[in-house]
Structure 1
Amino acid sequence: MNTQRHPALYEVNARVLLRRLAREAGSHVTLNDIPDTWLANLAGCGFSWVYLMGVWETGEAGRRVSRSNEQWLAGYRCLLPDLVEEDICGSPFAVTGYRLHPELGEAEDLVRFRDRLHRHGILLMLDFVPNHTAPDHLWARDRPDYYVHGTEEERARRPQEFIRLDLPGGSTVLAHGRDPYSGGWPDTLQLDYGNPALQEAMGAELKRIARQCDGLRCDMAMLILPEVFRQTWGWEIEPFWPRAVREVHKEHPGFTFVAEVYWDLGWKLQQQGFDYTYDKRLYDRLRNGEARPVREHFWADTEYQRRSVRFLENHDEGRAAASFPPDRHRAAAVLAFLCPGLRFFHQGQFAGRRKKVPVHLCRWPEEPADRAIGEFYRRLFTCLRLPVFRDGDWRLLDCNPAWEGNPSHDGYIAFAWEHGGERCIITVNYAPDRGQCYVPFPWADLAGKAVRLNDLMGSARYDRDGGSLLSPGLYLDIPGWGCHVFEVAGE
């Protein structure tokens, strides 16, 4: 099975995919009906993982909220002018149980889908939502002590954060899930990690889910860190993640944990056992379009870099084709996906989709494919399939002034990769204007050799003396947002 050091992951919305297949087939479909050709195509692109988002059971309470919030409805109608109620299936993160949603098939279908992926050399990642459940989760009825409680006074003062439920034990006020900086999410109930019994129950859920997949993306994983929980709710809790991850690994040693995490807490969660953590800071710096903060980002510890999740879009962020102008989109993609870490791609990204669709919907609007973006990603995946980028050693390179008084070198970012005799150099002018610089190569054995540089993302071919590539380095003079991915061959 796939053990790449720098794997690639593809996120697909399970409900959207199956609804589209059902429309094409004219009948109900399940995970069993996802064509093998679709899986083979993902394997051919070099993907190591499929993140199948939104497979778990959700309930009527969540759908009712999604279908009645007027502000949300206005947004849905802007995306889908022909919106019908069936298009609104509720948030997949308002989970009623970690069982396959009946609309997606029987429980065995999920195991079969995982096994089919394995035959193509692909691993399966699913969701885990640690912070909250749906209001109609069985625990709300049977174990209300698992949740954060409130008072009628609090509900009156902050109605967006609390809800009164009629439970078997009587009328009870419970808190909606939230983070320290926002109001409550009305289709959720907040779990109380101050209760040791709740921590045990969630640990048991993790172990049960781990039997059905190869890894989990843990939604908003930082919310149950003790310091964040204290900031949100005002009381102390015992750490959850270190023990929970350790217990899963006892039964499933190779299981992979990915944390959706913000507020620069990724390193902390890596220390608590997560294999990979979202790198939102790199995404933000790439969007801002300034080279120096991006370059300085890559000064971080090498192991932290390897365990970072790099992305330009996902179901929470805006579409890359809408967030980045075309030239900057390509430059940002080269930097984000040809640096070390887990490369995270999103359904529709390669077609240049521009409309971000709420996860509450199970139908997306029709959009024309952007052929230029599609061709760019085709070339990028040709690179990502190479062993040097999947399993190689990476380093950040210096970008030196081309001549005194020319500051344009500050717009450049350059990497070197090496693996089993393969070598590559990535250079990006991450600035709006043409710039010049020298990039010294890191391989002393090039001295006295003729070196050929072959651009894997374009048509450029150069022959250079190896000694000059060591000092002063490769001379670059490229336009704003220009880039090269050079295969380095010494003769």
Structure 2
Amino acid sequence: MKKSYLAVLLSSLLLMTACGDNKKQDDTQTSVSDTTAVKAPPAPEWAQNATIYEVNTRQFSADGNFKAVEEQLPRLKEMGVDIIWLMPIYPVSQKNKKGTLGSPYAIADYTAVNPDYGTMADLKSLVNRAHALGLHVILDWVANHTGWDHVWTKEHPDWYTKVNGAMTSPVDPKTGKPTGWTDVVDLDFNNPAMRKAMIEAMQFWVRECGIDGYRCDVAGFVPNDFWAELRPQLDKIKTMFMLAEWEDEPDQFKSCFNMNYGWSMNNMMRAVAKGASNATKIDSLREANKKRFPRWYYQMLFTQNHDENSNNGTLNQLFGQGADAFVVLSSTLEGMPLVYNGMESNLNKRLAFFEKDTIAWGNYGKSDFYKTLLTLKHRNRALWNGLAGGKVVKIPTNHDDKIYAFSRQRDNDRVIVVLNLSSQTQSFTIGGAGFAGVYTEVFSHEPVEVKPAMNVTLTPWAYRVLTN
């Protein structure tokens, strides 16, 4: 293709509006015990380019059950999802419950299913259908505490933390202050019998339903030596994928977990979206994380999840007109992107947490947007997870406080991402000769030639994602 045509095409492409709808750790030191070698925990091969989708079964459909989730699995597969993360599927504790239906995280029985969601056979059918489609299923697990009427409270009261001889709601182990989680009761991890029962309960779902891993709630409230004890017991059955809802304990990447939460990146993106920080701070955070975590670490990157949506706001409430730009950023930086259920239909409400509040699905108006990003991650090795992917290399501009530009490369695969993370049109110059070449813009499918010192203009919150 002639360069003169490319130059005209590039000029028109870059002027378009945004595509779519608008502690430091030493890797050589001993891990959580003197006998645990310092290396990454096992990981299933399929996780290297996987993406994750969170399902709130209660709100996912009017029926609020496993069968309704199973019916949507082909659609999610087509959209590019790999991992189905089911929020807790267990019976909900009724004692001290919050709201009408209670919290899914106040569990009454670790080895049963919530009858509102269906039967054990229904869950097995969901998992089997997912596996037939090439999807993988992880369950939400709450190890730190149970509901007040969990079967263990009657059968094994000695398994719980006591204050003045009485069971108690969880206390933050770092601050010593009450959490306010009055609908749950704290477990005592100094009790070996409780630990053994917890491990057996987690093995149960792997053996019984063939699940592929766990998302572990408030993982930092649980001693890291428990996670180290758990992991090999699960992997005896099959290699698990383990996600920690935590960020403040780097050794979790050595004891058990394949991925943790990118809370700090989420907070940073929100600050940039509101103008409280600028794009250069993203690099400062990334560099700090490199020093903090083992070299094989990666995080789940998100703009929404059940906590963010219910407690803090919708995607648009938190990110405003920049919402799509930050979804693009979280889908192309080092890490695994999360899609929260309903985002593909422009979820525009905060789902009630303790009540029935069905997602209004509409016409899946954002499905193609997410499909483009998730499919790119599958196909382009530069975007793969952890050590399988390419490192972010910043592309310098003369407006780095507003423009975030970078490249990632693995072998011959390369991706270039350029985002205007501001509410004003930005005209700027891209530096660096090492990124020159002809690429395809993934949303428009148009060819683009990138040249050193080229001038670019992006409208507010516009973005370009180029692949070779």
SS at match of 1:58: coil
SS at match of 1:127: strand
Change (3 A) 1:198 1:124: same
SS at match of 1:56: coil
2:282 aligned partner: 294
Change (3 A) 1:394 1:298: farther
The one-letter code of the counterpart of 2:197 is A
Residue 45 of structure 1 and its aligned partner are, at CA, apart by 1.1
Contact kept in structure 2, 1:414 and 1:439, CA below 8 Å: no
The one-letter code of the counterpart of 2:263 is K
2:76 aligned partner: 42
5 Å-filtered alignment, 1:170-189, equals 173-179=166-172, 180=175, 181-189=177-185
2:87 aligned partner: 53
2:161 aligned partner: 148
Contact kept in structure 2, 1:57 and 1:96, CA below 8 Å: yes
Change (3 A) 1:35 1:117: closer
1:270 aligned partner: 253
* CA distance, structure 2, for counterparts of residue 15 and residue 370 of structure 1: 19
Looking at both structures, which has the greater relative contact order when contacts are Cα pairs under 8 Å and sequence separation is at least 6? 2
* CA distance, structure 1, for counterparts of residue 332 and residue 128 of structure 2: 29
The one-letter code of the counterpart of 1:310 is L
Contact kept in structure 1, 2:334 and 2:391, CA below 8 Å: no
5 Å-filtered alignment, 1:225-374, equals 225=223, 239-252=225-238, 254-262=239-247, 264-265=248-249, 267-289=250-272, 290-299=278-287, 300-301=289-290, 307-318=298-309, 319-326=314-321, 328-364=322-358, 366=360, 371=365, 373=366
SS at match of 1:485: strand
Structure showing greater radius of gyration is 1
Residue 225 of structure 1 and its aligned partner are, at CA, apart by 3.0
1:133 aligned partner: 146
5 Å-filtered alignment, 1:32-181, equals 32=67, 34=69, 36=71, 38-62=72-96, 65-67=97-99, 88-98=100-110, 99-151=112-164, 173-179=166-172, 180=175, 181=177
5 Å-filtered alignment, 1:382-397, equals 382-388=375-381, 389-390=383-384, 393-397=389-393
Contact kept in structure 2, 1:439 and 1:475, CA below 8 Å: no
Residue 294 of structure 1 and its aligned partner are, at CA, apart by 1.1
Change (3 A) 1:298 1:220: same
* CA distance, structure 2, for counterparts of residue 114 and residue 307 of structure 1: 26
* CA distance, structure 2, for counterparts of residue 370 and residue 441 of structure 1: 40
403, 423, 442: which one aligns with 1:456:
442
User: 1:210-241 deviations in whole A, cap 9, x for unaligned?
Assistant: 32311100001001136xxxxxxxxxxxx211
445, 457, 466: which one aligns with 1:477:
457
* CA distance, structure 2, for counterparts of residue 304 and residue 91 of structure 1: 36
Residue 452 of structure 1 and its aligned partner are, at CA, apart by 2.2
Change (3 A) 1:183 1:191: same
Q: Which runs of 5+ in 2 are unaligned?
A: 1-43, 273-277
45, 48, 62: which one aligns with 1:5:
48
Residue 189 of structure 1 and its aligned partner are, at CA, apart by 0.7
Change (3 A) 1:2 1:243: closer
Change (3 A) 1:458 1:353: same
Number of aligned residue pairs: 403
Contact kept in structure 2, 1:56 and 1:92, CA below 8 Å: yes
* CA distance, structure 1, for counterparts of residue 305 and residue 438 of structure 2: 37
Q: TM-score, normalised by structure 2?
A: 0.78
Q: RMSD of the TM alignment (CA)? A: 2.7
SS at match of 2:124: helix
Q: TM-score, normalised by structure 1?
A: 0.75
SS at match of 1:417: strand
User: 1:434-467 deviations in whole A, cap 9, x for unaligned?
Assistant: 1413242546xx6xxxx32321134664335xxx
Q: Which runs of 5+ in 1 are unaligned?
A: 23-29, 68-87, 152-171, 227-238, 403-407
Contact kept in structure 1, 2:170 and 2:185, CA below 8 Å: yes
SS at match of 1:288: helix
User: 1:143-202 deviations in whole A, cap 9, x for unaligned?
Assistant: 111111122xxxxxxxxxxxxxxxxxxxx6210124245443111111111222222222
Residue 120 of structure 1 and its aligned partner are, at CA, apart by 0.5
2:66 aligned partner: 31
Residue 285 of structure 1 and its aligned partner are, at CA, apart by 0.3
Percent identity at matched positions? 22
218, 221, 226: which one aligns with 1:220:
218
* CA distance, structure 2, for counterparts of residue 393 and residue 59 of structure 1: 42
User: 1:269-295 deviations in whole A, cap 9, x for unaligned?
Assistant: 112220110010100000000211212
Contact kept in structure 2, 1:435 and 1:480, CA below 8 Å: no
Contact kept in structure 1, 2:331 and 2:374, CA below 8 Å: no
Residue 335 of structure 1 and its aligned partner are, at CA, apart by 1.1
SS at match of 1:176: coil
* CA distance, structure 2, for counterparts of residue 128 and residue 43 of structure 1: 24
Residue 309 of structure 1 and its aligned partner are, at CA, apart by 0.7
The one-letter code of the counterpart of 1:426 is V
The one-letter code of the counterpart of 1:216 is Y
* CA distance, structure 1, for counterparts of residue 397 and residue 332 of structure 2: 24
* CA distance, structure 1, for counterparts of residue 453 and residue 406 of structure 2: 13
206, 216, 228: which one aligns with 1:210:
206
2:32 aligned partner: none
Residue 112 of structure 1 and its aligned partner are, at CA, apart by 2.1
Change (3 A) 1:34 1:329: closer
* CA distance, structure 2, for counterparts of residue 401 and residue 17 of structure 1: 43
Q: Which has the higher strand share?
A: 1
The one-letter code of the counterpart of 1:410 is D
Residue 365 of structure 1 and its aligned partner are, at CA, apart by 6.6
SS at match of 1:97: coil
